[in-house]
Structure 1
Amino acid sequence: MLFRRPVIASCATTAAPRPYREGLFLADGKGRGAARTLTPAEKAQARAVSLRRIGALFIGHRRQLAVVVAVIVLSSVIAMGSPFLLREVIDVALPQSDVRLLSLLVAGMIGIAAATSALGVVQTWISTTVGQQVMHRLRTRVFAHLQRQSVGFFTRTRTGEVQSRITNDIGGMQQVVTSTATSVAANLTTVIATLVAMTALSWQLTLVSLVALPPAIYWTRRVARMRQAITAQRQRELADLNVIIDEGLSISGVQLAKTMGAGGLLTQRFTASSARLIDLELRSELAGRWRMATMSIVFAVIPASIYLAAGLPFAAGAMSIGTLVAFTGLQGGLFRPLMSLLDVGVTLTASLALFQRIFEYLDLPVEIEEPAAPVRLDRVRGHLRFEDVTFVYGESPSAALAGVSLDVPAGTSLALVGETGSGKSTIAALIARLHDPTSGRVTIDGVDLRDMSLDDLAATVGVVSQETYLLHTTIRENLRYAKPDATDAEIERATRAAQIHDLITALPDGYDTMVGSRGHRFSGGEKQRIAIARTLLRDPRILVLDEATSALDNETERAVQRAFDELSRGRTTVTIAHRLSTVRNADQIAVIDHGRILESGTHDDLIEAEGRYAALAR
């Protein structure tokens, strides 16, 4: 069965969208509603989710679920004995003053209550364990799948949105995953067993009791659809709130807000988003409450009417008091699980909005695929080639690179120079396979990067970029992020080469110093040198230095450059720099302009050619 109510999210997928509504009712934060047009990203997310796919999450837990169902059925069957024991108490034991029979009946009722309680504990334990394992596996799958996404996905997607999917959406699914299935089974079994027992007592009164069932099902479906739409809006608003928190309370965001005087504006944005969230939460909780309250009243009227009918003269003697009490007790026992079953239906339908958002991420195509049969290089020499490479970012009308061919023999150095936006960093990204060429190929020792495993490629190519990112942990753990089994001696060698060892050891906690959020405890040059040491610790055969010394002062830059010169011996090195003083000794220099190679050669050759390089040098 497919639920085709559209649920909208802010991240687009490549899947073809299902039919959607052009206008979506949204709260404006003041309790009012306003129709707005769906964005293309939201339209792409409006697609169906099948219960079969949700059920597939529980594959592997069939045995535990079978035990849970057996426990539920056993508990429901045992519980049905109580009304019959109550009838015997009222009709036989009490009128006849049979103490022995009364004691046995009371003991039986207590035994039934104890047995059902014990079975309930077993059921809860097993079902919660299964549910938590399913949640764990789902969280892990989403995180691992997002790790496989290309850099392009994360440049298109807000960080807060990704965090919201993993925390808020999966967290919101927890109750559904851990208890809904067992709740459906328990209530459904109870309803069936109760109907059987009611029919055994009086089939006529059973028919009367079921009069309210069709309208209850109808109104429940209406309420479920209402809550599903509201749940989708609420999760989008939660994602927006996460984005505001991420942008406003990160160290970079706080610095920007303080220097721009934007703290008040950020607070207003947060307040408005929080107010809209309150409105959506209220609408979600109150959606259909009057309808469901009306059904509760109807369910209360039916047993009252039965009592009234039993007391009328024409019905006198038609039913014993014990039977009447037992039947109305069963009737109450029917309406409670029936209402619970209908509420579960509402919750499940509303939760489809959460499943849709999670499945949307799981369905994202992986742009940088792991090869099915990766080629292993027994001994990496580091011969790097670009063969007529063209690359286009997304739907950009122009190519970032067009027909680029480069040959960097193993152990030599290549310097890429050119104006900002010319395509230098794109070349670096292709070497690390952060993107794949639109046409042409990039090879190492004659092997296309797309044929190498991602782990082998990461071990072969080391990148130090101009944007340094340090984890909020110690310096030692930041360095070991590149090589978890690195010894202290290896760490020290790398930091000495990066000209940062002396500064680290001068700190009170040395290598155990916390770097702070995004490394903001250190200066730009210090962070850059820690990042350089982190890359050197992996000892890659190919080094890509994308403005790696851009944050260093002249003296430190010269020291690090000497270290690079020493470390580059025997390695293939690709250096990107605006300052030509750092690349003049490269074996070859390529001048990039608008994604094309204008000229290449050594420093002296290019100066003599009086071309673009000579103009840049002047």
Structure 2
Amino acid sequence: MNSRTKKFLSYYKPYLGLLCVDLACAFVVSAITLMLPLCIRYITINVLEGNSPHPLNQIYTVGAVMLAMVIIHTLCDMFISYKGHMMGAYMESDMRRELFDHFQKLSFSFYDENKTGQLMTRTTNDILSLTELYHHGPEDIVISILKFLGAFIILMYIDVKLTLIVFLFLPIMAVFAFYFNKKMNIALRVSKDRIGDINEQVEDSLSGIRVVKSFTNELVEKKKFAYANGRFVDSRREGYKSETYFHEGLVGFTQLITIAVIVFGGAAIVDAKLALADLLTFFLCIGILIEPIQRLVNFARLYQEGITGFDRFMEILEVEPDIEDSVDAAEITQVRGRVTFQDVSFKYKEDYGYVLNHVSLDIEAGEYVALVGPSGVGKTTLCSLIPRFYEVNEGRILLDGRDIRDITQRSLRKHIGMVQQDVYLFAGSVSDNIRYGSMEAGMDEIIEAAKKANAHDFIMALPDGYHTDIGQRGVKLSGGQKQRLSIARVFLKNPPILIFDEATSSLDNESERAVQDSLERLSDNRTTLVIAHRLSTVRNAQRIVVLSQNGIEEVGTHEELIARKGVYASLSHMQLTI
């Protein structure tokens, strides 16, 4: 048994009791289904064709027994249908939770390579197809085996030759089913990839709907969606074609079996080798024999859909995070905030060039350091390495003299606050978004953080104040308002290390002044790294680090770097003349 099979079966473990009751009900259903034709045979042979002194009493007695069996059969079927489906839903929920938990562990590099729409498909559609398999799989197998074996024994008891004629069809049916089952599997895999493409396209278009409308490119998005939708339809066409051959072919074989029974059974009656009552029972049992075959056909469909979804589910679950805590990683509680880069080199992929190459920098606790330079020289990358969003390829980064790889990621990131240019606010209220900085914070602390971030006044002007719903990604707020909420969030977190990544570059002058005031208040007595394109915003930095493609070009105060007439002076002159 391979690891994936063990993993597949492991989801039954919490529900073994429910599974056993479900299979017991399936056993009862199979047994009653086999006993009903025997009751009919008993009435036909022993009562109608016999010389019973009280035929009506026997018919009523057998009828009462059959009625009781039908009631039990119905109750067991109801249990299987309801509780069995719920068991599948519980297992689906467990898998979805495990996958979502795994998403939280994966590194930024994983999300750099995978699209959100595809990941959503794996969390929803792929796992949804497993519910039916987990429920119907064991039940269909048990019922099919019991009914098939039971019907076979009864048929052999009635007429051996006629039974062997029927079973000559089965090897041909098996080869036919195996061939088209394989084609169905390939088609289903492609189909699931295509529905992922559709989700990806929808997610991308709707997330950027304001850009779409501002450029009047609705037709472009429609064409892109039509292309993805058309590919999905093509994949379903192949799937339905294979499924049609598979299903209808097996139905055709079962009809051939029925014809064979009629022809050879009729001939046996003419030759007086078979009684009419036995032929009637034989027909009923053929129906029971065909039903397990149809169940197995249905199981094969569920299996292909489910196992394809499970394989895609496992592909994600088997992705190991690029960055994991070492076995002896320690929790940190007290942080002064000294950050040291020692000969650090980094590239995003093995076949990519180095973004940072042998960079060394020592930032004292409480120091205000600005990082400037052209786009693409690694300013954001340098800051992303501190909370271990990415792992250095060479060298090391120290926090208060300790290698950050020897610190747990959670405790490391708890001591770092980030304010980025692209603010992400969650759907919900203003207070919910500020509270994200410290989930245990009370309303008084939230209001205090908002005041420090110069956000309290505009929040109180909103329709419901702190309880105002701000919409998806804060669409009901201006850029400056969103930025101040993100700063309030960091105030609430109260970390000793701050990273500002172009926090004011996209704001108007008034909003920039309000945000800049908040940032200066926030950075007081904290280690602060500021990434800036507008050099006017970092004039007061204690040190300015100028980065280029070659690494660190210059370090100094604004006045020192201007006097040096180097790279920084050129950048400053360029901005002043624009």
TM-score higher than 0.5 = yes
Aligned to 1:89: 43
Kindly indicate whether the alpha-carbon contact (under 8 Å) linking 1:370 and 1:453 is maintained by their aligned counterparts in 2.
yes
Structure 2 counterpart of 1:599: 554
Matched, 1:464 2:416: no
- Is 2:290 aligned against 1:330? no
Shift of 1:217: 0.9
Which deviations, in whole Å up to 9, do the C-alpha atoms of 1:469-521 show, x marking residues without a partner? 11122111111122222222211222122212111111221112222222222
Residue in structure 1 matched with residue 545 of structure 2 by the alignment: 590
Matched, 1:191 2:148: yes
Contact 2:107 2:323 in 1 (8 A): yes
- 1:162 and 2:119 are equivalent in the alignment: yes
User: Equivalents in 1 of 2:192, 2:491: separation in Å?
Assistant: 43
Matches of 2:256 and 2:333, distance apart in 1: 81
Per the alignment, residue 400 of structure 1 pairs with 355
Equivalent position to 2:512, from 548, 557, 560: 557
**Distance in 2, Cα, partners of 1:611 & 1:98:** 115
Residue 312 to residue 182, structure 1, CA distance change in 2 (3 Å): closer
Partner Cα distance (1:294, 1:89) in 2: 36
Letter in 2 for 1:78: I
Q: 1:328 to 1:261 in 2, by over 3 A?
A: same
Q: Provide the rounded CA distance (Å) in 1 between the counterparts of 2:268 and 2:397.
A: 96
The one of 286, 292, 297 aligned to 2:241 = 286
What are structure 2's unaligned runs of at least 5 residues?
A: 574-578
Q: 1:511 corresponds to which residue? A: 466
Q: Which has the higher helix share?
A: 2
In structure 1, C-alpha distance between the alignment counterparts of 2:176 and 2:394, rounded to whole Å: 57
The farther-off stretch of 320-329 and 433-442 is 320-329
**TM-score, structure 1 length as denominator?**
0.87
Compute the displacement of 1:538 (Å): 0.5
The answer to whether residue 20 in structure 2 is matched with residue 66 in structure 1 is yes
Per the alignment, do residues 612 and 282 of structure 1 end up closer, same or farther by CA in structure 2, a change over 3 Å counting? Answer: closer
Q: Does 1:610 align with 2:565?
A: yes
Give the aligned length: 570
Kindly report which structure 2 residues correspond to 1:31-430, keeping only aligned pairs within 5 A, or say none.
51-95=5-49, 96=51, 98-250=55-207, 253-290=208-245, 292-312=247-267, 315-430=270-385
Deviation at 1:55, TM superposition (A): 2.4
Classify the secondary structure of the residue corresponding to 1:287. Answer: helix
Q: Provide Cα deviations, 1:84-121, integer angstroms capped at 9, x if missing partner.
A: 11111111222346111111111111122111221222
Q: Tell me which of 434, 437, 443 is aligned to 1:479.
A: 434
The farther-off stretch of 570-579 and 174-183 is 174-183
Q: Give the alignment's TM-score, normalised by structure 2.
A: 0.93
For residues 275-318 of structure 1, the C-alpha deviation after alignment (integer angstroms, 9 at most, x for no partner) is: 33334334323325245434323322333433333443775432
Hey, what's the Cα distance between the residues in 2 that align with 1:474 and 1:409?
38
Q: Deviations over 1:508-551 (max 9, x none)?
A: 21112222222222222221111111122111111111111223
Asked if structure 2 preserves the Cα contact closer than 8 Å seen for 1:93 and 1:101, the reply is yes
2:487–2:519: 8 Å Cα contact kept in structure 1?
A: no
Check 1:291–1:613 CA distance in 2 against 1; reply closer, same or farther (3 A cut). Answer: closer
Question: Residues 552-582 of structure 1, C-alpha deviation per residue, up to 9 Å, x if partnerless?
Answer: 3334433433333333232111111122222
The 8 Å contact of residues 500 and 530 in structure 1, kept in 2 or not, is answered as yes
Which stretch shifts more, 283-292 or 392-401?
283-292
Contact 1:586 1:602 in 2 (8 A): yes
Identity %: 30
For the residues of structure 1 that align with 2:373 and 2:321, how far apart are their CA atoms? Answer: 32
CA distance in 1, matches of 2:529, 2:480: 21
Corresponding letter in the other structure for 1:354: G
Question: 1:309 touches 1:315 (CA, 8 Å); kept in 2?
Answer: no
CA distance in 2, matches of 1:417, 1:572: 17
Q: CA RMSD in A?
A: 2.2
State the distance in 1 between where 2:220 and 2:333 align.
58
Q: Distance in 2 between matches of 1:192 and 1:213?
A: 14
Gaps in structure 1 of 5+ consecutive residues: 3-48
- Residue aligned with 2:488, SS: helix
Query: Using the alignment, how far apart are the partners of 1:292 and 1:552 within structure 2?
Result: 62
CA distance in 2, matches of 1:376, 1:241: 43
Residue type of the alignment partner of 1:207: L
Shift in Å, 1:207: 1.5
Select between 314-323 and 595-604 the one with higher mean Cα deviation.
314-323
